[in-house]
Amino acid sequence: MTGWARLFLCAAAMVLAASSAVAAEEPPNLSGVWMPTVIAPDGSRNRAWPENPPFRPEVQAAYETYKQKLAANPEDYDEARNCLPYGMPYQMLLVAQYPMEIVDTGDRLTMIFELHNDVRRIHLDDGPPPTGLRPGFQGYSMGHWVGDTLYIETTHIREGGMPRPHGPRLRITEHIRLIADQEGTPMLEDVMTIDDPDTYTEPFTTRTYFRRQAGLEMGEYFCSEDLWRLNLSGKDSTIPWR
């Protein structure tokens, strides 16, 4: 073998090794339809939201007052009876059986929620957030991959009320990754840290899980508060589809 041939083979081997290394570092593609689940990978029942969040004293007092009002008049104080978006962080903590579709386009991860037709966008282009952002229900999310884990930080979240209040300085960090349950079935794990000094005495962490639903199509969803009230008041005979 000539010296040129050896040089060529050496260069080709280096290129192949580099390509293999790049391929190995490619993050997983999370595209697909996912369904939230309360069953953790070890088979135990997972509680997404803590039973006793570390509320500041004044927030705890307001929360106790809210619970009394809710018990006395659920029609006016139950947040599930309106059509407003849930928003962050509650958007990722829901365990009701409404699917979420993830569309991964490389520079952006788009989460489409069947419930309320809400959309959350996670920007992966490493750029700074735009100036002049207004607070929104979903906030503004920026993410980056470290190995097989997606790190996300969400800010500019609209202030929220009871039963899960949060202030203007709320900052949410998430670690999302693919894991497997006891039978080796893939699951999506979202470990979320909530840092809100106006509402909580210290940051705390939640954990939620999703299962991929191959072949499941997202359905249509619409919300009408008037129809909700008719249904919950027992006057559902006047609802058009009843």
pTM score of the predicted model: 0.82
pLDDT of residue 74: 77
Report the mean per-residue pLDDT for the chain: 84
User: For position 200, which CATH number holds?
Assistant: 2.40.128.20
Lookup result for tokens 């659920």: 74
pLDDT at 212 over 70: yes
Q: Is residue 175 part of a domain?
A: yes
Residue 222 structural domain: 27-238
Which SS3 state, helix, strand or coil, does residue 176 take?
A: strand
Instruction: Tell me the per-residue pLDDT of 19-69, one tens digit each, with 9 for 90 and over.
Output: 444 445 789 999 999 999 999 999 999 888 888 999 999 999 999 999 998
Percent pLDDT > 90 in the chain is: 52
According to the per-residue pLDDT averaged within each range, which of 85-89, 90-94, 174-178 is highest?
174-178
Number of compact structural domains in the chain: 1
> At residue 13, does pLDDT exceed 50?
no
Residue 135's Cβ-side half-sphere holds a number of Cα atoms within 13 Å equal to: 13
What are residue 131's phi and psi, to 5 degrees?
Answer: -80, 155
- Whether residue 6 lies inside any domain: the answer is no
116 within some domain: yes
Separation of first and last alpha carbons in the chain: 83
Task: Answer yes or no: is 93 within a domain.
Answer: yes
In angstroms, the CA 11 to CA 9 distance is 5
Asked if residue 172 belongs to a domain, the reply is yes
The tens digit of pLDDT for each residue in 151-209 reads 999 999 999 888 889 999 999 999 999 999 999 899 999 999 999 999 999 999 999 99
Assess if residue 183 is contained within a domain.
yes
Q: What is the pLDDT of residue 23?
A: 45
* Cβ-contact 80, 184 below 8 angstroms: no
Question: Tokens for 224?
Answer: 């009408």
Residue 41 lies in a domain: yes
Residue 168 in any domain: the answer is yes
Q: Where are the beta strands (DSSP E) in 82-234?
A: 100-104, 108-113, 119-123, 140-146, 149-155, 171-180, 186-195, 204-212
Task: For residue 116, name the pLDDT band (cuts at 50, 70, 90).
Answer: confident
